[in-house]
Structure formats: C-alpha cells, structure tokens
C-alpha cells in the first residue's frame, strides 16, 4: 500500500493486559482467547477433585529412564540423497552444567546475548525468498510482493542440515499485526482490502536455504567451524513460501468426511492455506510439522453450536474481517470451512512442489506444536499441546513402524494409529495442594498418568463419536473421556539423552485457588510451570507414565517458585514458558512469552540442566527486543548455534509511533537471529 492511503482512527490496542501481553497480541495472535470464558465448560475434574493415592514408582521409573535414552531421539542431518538417521546426545557427562554467565533482565530494544557470544540477523520480514522477489519496500507493500518475501511474526524455527555448511531453515509465520506493518493503518472493517490480502500472504511459513558463514574469524565473523549462518547466495532451489492460499491436502481418517466438505471443495480433501502456525517439529524422515493454533480468530459469524463454541469461534464478524475478501471465512455461509483448520501440517522441504498435508489423524485443536519420538519398536509417537486455558495434552502413536530410508512408507505413518489424551493423577493428598504453590509434604508436585485412547483410524472409543467426529471435534471427545484440564499446554520436547518428555505450561490466570491440583498447583497461575513426563518403561508407546513438576516459574525470591530443589539464590527469574528445545547434552532450553507483563522485563531464552547435581540451575541466555516474544529456539546438531525468532517486537505500537525499532533502527521487523560463541566452542560450554 502506498503512504497516501487514507488515515483513520488508530486502533486502541496499545495497553498492556494481564498475562503479560499487549492488547494487540491478544487480539491479533490469539483472537482474544483470554478475554473470553475458557471454552472448556466440560465437567472434567481438576485433579484435586479426584485425588487417589498411588504408589510412588518414581525410583523404579528413573532407573527405566536410563534405558529409555537409547530410544530417545532428536533430529539431525538429512542430506537429500541420504537416508534418515537418529541423533543421540554427545559428550554428556553425569552432571551437565551451563557455563555462560546469565544475561541480566532488561527492557533493551535488542537481542542481548552472554559475554563471549555473537549474533547475526539471518532473515527479516520482507526479505526476498523466491527467485525474482522484489526488495522490501515497507511504504509500498503489495500482496503479490509479500507472497514472495519472508512473512511476518516468526514462531517455530526448524533446521535441516544439508551437509556441513548448508542447511534449510523453516520458519512459521504465525500472525500479522497490521497496526505496525502498515503506515497509517486503520480499522480492518473499513481499511483497503489490499491490507487483508497482504496479511494473508504474510501468514504461513517460509523455507530458506542457509550457508555457514566462512569468511574469516573473530568478532562478528564466521570461520571454518563457525556457528554463524546466513542466507545462501546464488541459486536457491529449495526456497519456498507457504501462505493462506497454498493448496493443501487433507489426509487421514477424516479426510473426505462430510464435516470437511464445502461448496468449493465437495471432496472434503483440498483446502487453501494454513492459519496461525505456532510451533512445530520434525519427523525422522526429514519433514517439518507445523501446528495450526488460534485458527478460530479468522472466522466470523459462527452458528454458536457446542462444536463451534468449544473452539472459541465467534458468532460475530471476525476482528480481522478476512470475510470481506474471501467469503469462506464467513461461517454463516460456509459453516464447514473452520473444520478444515486446526491441524498439524506436514511440509516436505526437499520438494518445493509438494502439496502440504493436513493430518486429521493427529486431531483438531489449537495445536501448539508437534514433537516426535520413536517408540521402542520404532513406531512414531507425536506429543502435542492444546494451548488454551484448561485444555489438554495429546499423544499420537502410529500403527506402522518407521523404516529408515523408506520415505514413501514413512510419509504415510501419521495417517493410521491411535490418538490419546492425557489424564494426570497426583500422589499427595488434595488438601495439601492449596493453590499457593507450597510443596506438599512429600516434597514434590508429582504423580502418575494415563494416555486415554480416543480413537484409532478405524475405531472410536468415545461414546457417541465416530472416528471422524473424534478427529474433527477432538476437544469435545477429550471432554467426554475425562482428560485433565491443564494450564495452557504449549510446546513438548523430549530429551535426546534420557528420553524424558517435557511440556511447557504457560500460565492460567483463570484457575481459581480451589481449582489447583497437583499437576497445575497454583491458582491463579501467573507464571507457568514445566512438566516432566517419564513414560512407563521409557517407551514412547506407553499408555501410562509418571510425571513431576521440576520448575514452578516466577521470581525465585518468591515462595511459590521451585527450581527442582536447587538453591534459588543462584537461579534466574522466568515467567510464561512457551517453546522448548534441547542441546546435545540434554539441557532444556525454554523461551518465554509474557515476561514483560508478568515480571516487567523482556522475554528471554533460558536454559537449565535437568539431570545431575545442577538440575534446576536456570540461567538466562538471551533477551529479546521490546515487546517481542522469544520464539523458535533451535540448537543445531553440532551444538554450535542457537536460532531464535523474536516475534512481534513493538507489538503495542503503531507504524507511525513504534515502540521498537529492532533490528534496523527504523521500524520493527520480526526476524530470525543466530547466536554463536566467538571462540568456536559449543553453545553453553
Ligand atoms: Fe502461539 Fe501457544 O503460542
Ligand atoms: Ca506429590
Ligand atoms: Ca508458542
């Protein structure tokens, strides 16, 4: 759009709200999810209601977890011509420790890294991605140009090695903030519809080729073993943009079902685009999984049925008013269109012409991410959170085994298997969980859990639900089986060393003290916590598990925080844990989304050992610019580089009155940075 577009009233989206976000982030990212009653009105128990004493099996399972390490798995180098390979941890001692000195809490408008580390902005909103893409001109944006350029708001960052010095970087573009994207932007209900088309093109994802920067050594430079990566020069045949109009295929048991059929797609198998893709993951066969999260906000005029209410679909016109451009976003005219969003989408980075696949077998909810592990018999398990207050944790286990190198076979693995939802039980008396965060008398928030089967690809286990209904109305099916209401389950990640699985529970200001339970022990939960899951026998296929809460987030000086029993005078504050990743030594890295509002300073990337004597020694590795959320942490398999995607810098400003000018000093541009140690050593060493 040109600068001469008519100016109208700016939207009143500049104030901070509870939960640590700006008003703009709430409206534009999550569709105001926290300003509505939680959509889960099921009578499912908070754990305190269903206290049941269980035998403490922690010691036995800890022993089992050692063997579990053999089947644990992260993802690493997959050259196109090569078969897949598992990645084990390397060089992990008994007591891993992170050696960097923490970055201090701050509100600086930059990425701050520890002493001895350096950083580089790898790719910015608007950078050309496709061949022939125009250079970015913020005052003359067009949808056509944006569809060829790097999209907005970077969330999940995936990295696929293509040899020692080449790689592919996948980045989710979760949502847009038109107030800071467009000069003179006004009201979406009346603004020029080209703004909407640009926003549609800025959603989705980008795939870009990278190369290691090998020019020289020293400060700000790379070197032969450098952790510095940059956009590849020359021919970039894998580069790709996925947008809201990219054709995708619905697969799995619900594909073609009448719930997924529309006037434009009577087959119920073809859908345009993906929405609000938040976190993600990688498969062992080298594809990216990207998770559609708050898709509800793009649709208006829902019929107000139990099915649409449970997903937060509004009966009013949408805030974004995309229905002004594409009628399919008006549910009064196309009621099934919203059933075609809210899935895990698989992207094949090695085939730029491939059709992305929406996997109905993995259920439909506000998917935060998708983390894959192999089971002991080499089937594929996928762990997934539904990021909403009082919603659930899910797991899928494939029917067939993963076979290394059999790509065609492997790409079908997510279409058949079993979808489970988690039910957690604590082992302390309910009266000892009082909502303050005070530890119960056994010294731990812990207990056991079960994965309740919802359906396989051929059989439903939920009364009154067909297989397709379980997979399209997954939240309602999970309500019916008594799943445990969690405090916004976000990212899952599995330790490459022990196989233990971790989940970030961001916060839940709506949990009343009387609703506190052992797995969600504070009410309200302003700062979030981390859950550690040990599957029975260490096997990702297990249908039972033990769990504990190693970290209860917040200011370590506050009594309601807990850092695995570590000396709290030696740990850093953390709030609103969101995305997780591991380094090769098995240390857990946690990025946050909401520290500015809840603690008063910038979001950050923290890291903490989860094994050995330093378990709980949480440090702050990086802070992100003003109002940004720290997204997409990924540590390369060689342990030399951290990728970080600060998204929505300056989200409480406008283009004309920015509150952040990161990274270039003019206007905020969501970007991906890489961080490495100047002396060439591993991250954290
Ligand atoms: Fe997009 Fe749940 O964060
Ligand atoms: Ca306990
Ligand atoms: Ca997230």
pLDDT digits (tens, 9 = 90+) for 490-540: 999 999 999 999 999 999 999 999 999 999 999 999 999 999 999 999 999
Helix (H) or strand (E) holding 432: none
Q: Does residue 52 register a pLDDT over 70?
A: no
Which atom number of ligand 1 is nearest to the Cα of residue 294? 1
Q: Does residue 677 register a pLDDT over 70?
A: yes
Q: Does residue 56 register a pLDDT over 50?
A: no
Predicted pLDDT of residue 30:
83
**Residue 278: CB within 6 Å of ligand 1?**
yes
**Residue 387: CB within 6 Å of ligand 1?**
yes
**431 Cα to the center of ligand 2, angstroms:** 12
Which residues make up the environment of ion ligand 3, defined by Cβ < 5 Å? Answer: 278, 578
pLDDT digits (tens, 9 = 90+) for 256-289: 999 999 999 999 999 999 999 999 999 999 999 9
**646 Cα to the center of ligand 1, angstroms:** 13
**Residue 174: CB within 6 Å of ligand 1?**
yes
**For residues 253 and 360, is the Cβ–Cβ distance under 8 A?**
yes
- Name the nearest CA neighbour of 205 among 250, 161, 170: 170
**Residue 490: CB within 6 Å of ligand 1?**
yes
**551 Cα to the center of ligand 2, angstroms:** 14
Which atom number of ligand 1 is nearest to the Cα of residue 279? 1
CB atoms near residue 406 (< 10 Å): 14
pLDDT digits (tens, 9 = 90+) for 91-111: 445 799 999 999 999 999 999
Binning pLDDT at 50, 70 and 90, where does residue 234 land? confident
Q: Does residue 591 register a pLDDT over 80?
A: yes
Ligand having the closest approach to the CA of 276: 1
**490 Cα to the center of ligand 2, angstroms:** 23
pLDDT digits (tens, 9 = 90+) for 176-231: 999 999 999 989 999 999 999 999 999 999 999 999 997 644 444 555 568 999 99
User: What are the start-end ranges of the H helices in 383-542?
Assistant: 407-410, 467-472, 474-480
- Please compute the mean of the pLDDT values over residues 20-31 and round it to a whole number: 73
- Please compute the mean of the pLDDT values over residues 350-370 and round it to a whole number: 98
Ligand having the closest approach to the CA of 175: 1
Predicted pLDDT of residue 37:
80
**Residue 629: CB within 6 Å of ligand 1?**
no
- Where are the domains positioned within the chain? 16-425+437-646+653-677
Which residue carries 């434009």 as its tokens? 264
pLDDT digits (tens, 9 = 90+) for 609-647: 999 999 999 999 999 999 999 999 999 999 999 999 999
Q: Name the percent of the chain lying above pLDDT 70.
A: 88
- Name the nearest CA neighbour of 608 among 565, 650, 641: 565
pLDDT digits (tens, 9 = 90+) for 425-460: 999 999 999 999 999 999 999 999 999 999 999 999
**Residue 292: CB within 6 Å of ligand 1?**
no
The protein residue with its alpha carbon nearest to ligand 1, atom 1, reads 278
Binning pLDDT at 50, 70 and 90, where does residue 18 land? very low
Q: Name the percent of the chain lying above pLDDT 90.
A: 83
Question: Which range has the top average pLDDT, 53-62, 70-79, 218-227, 537-546?
Answer: 537-546
**Residue 630: CB within 6 Å of ligand 1?**
no
**Residue 293: CB within 6 Å of ligand 1?**
yes
Which atom number of ligand 1 is nearest to the Cα of residue 30? 1
Ligand having the closest approach to the CA of 426: 2
Q: What is the mean pLDDT of the chain?
A: 89
Ligand having the closest approach to the CA of 295: 1
**425 Cα to the center of ligand 2, angstroms:** 10
Predicted pLDDT of residue 224:
56
Q: In sequence order, what DSSP letters do the residues of 664-684 get, joined into one string?
A: TTSS---EEEEEEETTSPPTT
Which atom number of ligand 1 is nearest to the Cα of residue 579? 3
* Cβ-based neighbours of 212, under 8 Å, separated by 6 or more: 164, 165, 166, 167, 222, 226, 228, 229
């Amino acid at each position: 759009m040109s600068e001469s577009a008519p100016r109208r009233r700016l939207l009143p989206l500049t104030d901070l709200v509870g939960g640590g976000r700006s008003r703009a982030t709430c409206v534009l990212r999550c569709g105001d999810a926290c300003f509505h009653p939680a959509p889960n009105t099921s009578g499912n128990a908070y754990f305190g209601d269903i206290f049941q004493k269980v035998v403490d099996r922690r010691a036995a399972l800890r022993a089992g977890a050692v063997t579990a390490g053999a089947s644990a798995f992260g993802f690493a180098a997959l050259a196109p011509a090569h078969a897949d390979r598992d990645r084990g941890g390397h060089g992990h001692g008994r007591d891993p420790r992170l050696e960097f000195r923490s970055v201090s809490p701050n509100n600086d408008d930059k990425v701050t890294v520890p002493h001895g580390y350096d950083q580089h902005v790898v790719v910015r909103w608007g950078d050309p991605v496709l061949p022939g893409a125009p250079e970015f001109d913020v005052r003359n944006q067009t949808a056509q140009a944006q569809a060829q350029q790097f999209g907005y708001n970077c969330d999940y960052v995936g990295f696929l090695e293509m040899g020692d010095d080449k790689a592919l970087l996948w980045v989710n573009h979760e949502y847009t903030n038109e107030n800071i994207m467009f000069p003179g932007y006004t009201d979406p209900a009346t603004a020029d519809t080209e703004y909407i088309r640009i926003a549609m093109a800025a959603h989705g994802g980008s795939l870009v080729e990278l190369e290691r920067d090998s020019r020289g050594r020293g400060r700000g430079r790379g070197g032969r073993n450098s952790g510095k990566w940059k956009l590849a020069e020359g021919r970039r045949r894998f580069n790709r943009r996925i947008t809201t109009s990219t054709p995708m295929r619905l697969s799995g048991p619900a594909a073609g079902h009448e719930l997924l059929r529309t006037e434009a797609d009577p087959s119920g198998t073809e859908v345009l685009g993906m929405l609000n893709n938040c976190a993600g993951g990688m498969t062992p066969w080298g594809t990216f999984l990207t998770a559609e999260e708050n898709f509800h906000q793009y649709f208006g005029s829902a019929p107000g049925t139990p099915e649409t209410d449970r997903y937060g679909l509004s009966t009013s016109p949408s805030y974004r008013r995309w229905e002004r451009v594409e009628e399919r976003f008006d549910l009064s005219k196309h009621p099934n269109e919203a059933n075609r969003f809210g899935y895990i989408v698989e992207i094949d980075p090695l085939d730029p012409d491939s059709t992305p696949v929406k996997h109905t077998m993995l259920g439909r909810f506000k998917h935060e991410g998708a983390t894959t592990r192999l089971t002991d018999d080499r089937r594929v398990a996928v762990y997934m959170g539904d990021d909403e207050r009082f919603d659930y944790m899910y797991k899928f286990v494939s029917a067939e085994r993963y076979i290394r190198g059999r790509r065609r076979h492997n790409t079908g693995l997510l279409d058949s298997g079993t979808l489970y939802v988690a039910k957690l039980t604590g082992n302390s008396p309910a009266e000892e969980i009082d909502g303050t965060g005070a530890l119960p008398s056994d010294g731990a928030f812990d207990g056991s859990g079960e994965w309740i089967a919802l359906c396989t690809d051929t059989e439903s286990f939920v009364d009154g639900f067909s297989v397709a209904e379980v997979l399209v109305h997954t939240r309602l099916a999970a309500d019916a089986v008594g799943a445990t209401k969690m405090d916004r389950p976000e990212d899952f990640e599995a330790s490459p060393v022990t196989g233990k699985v971790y989940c970030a529970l961001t916060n839940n200001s709506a949990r009343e003290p009387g609703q506190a339970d052992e797995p969600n022990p504070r009410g309200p939960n302003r700062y979030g916590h981390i859950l550690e899951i040990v599957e029975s026998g260490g096997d990702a296929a297990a249908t039972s598990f033990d769990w504990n809460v190693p970290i209860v987030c917040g200011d370590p000086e506050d009594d309601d925080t807990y850092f695995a029993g570590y000396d709290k005078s030696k740990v850093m504050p953390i709030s609103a844990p969101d995305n997780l990743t591991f380094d090769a030594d098995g240390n857990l890295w946690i990025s946050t989304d909401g520290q500015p509002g809840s603690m008063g300073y910038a979001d950050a990337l923290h890291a903490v050992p989860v094994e050995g004597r330093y378990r709980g020694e949480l440090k702050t590795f990086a802070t992100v610019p003003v109002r940004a959320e720290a997204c997409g942490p990924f540590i390369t398999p060689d342990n030399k580089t951290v990728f970080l995607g600060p998204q929505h810098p300056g989200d409480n400003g406008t283009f004309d009155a920015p509150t952040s000018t990161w990274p270039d000093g003019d206007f905020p541009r969501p970007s991906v940075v890489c961080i490495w140690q100047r002396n060439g050593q591993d991250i954290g060493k």
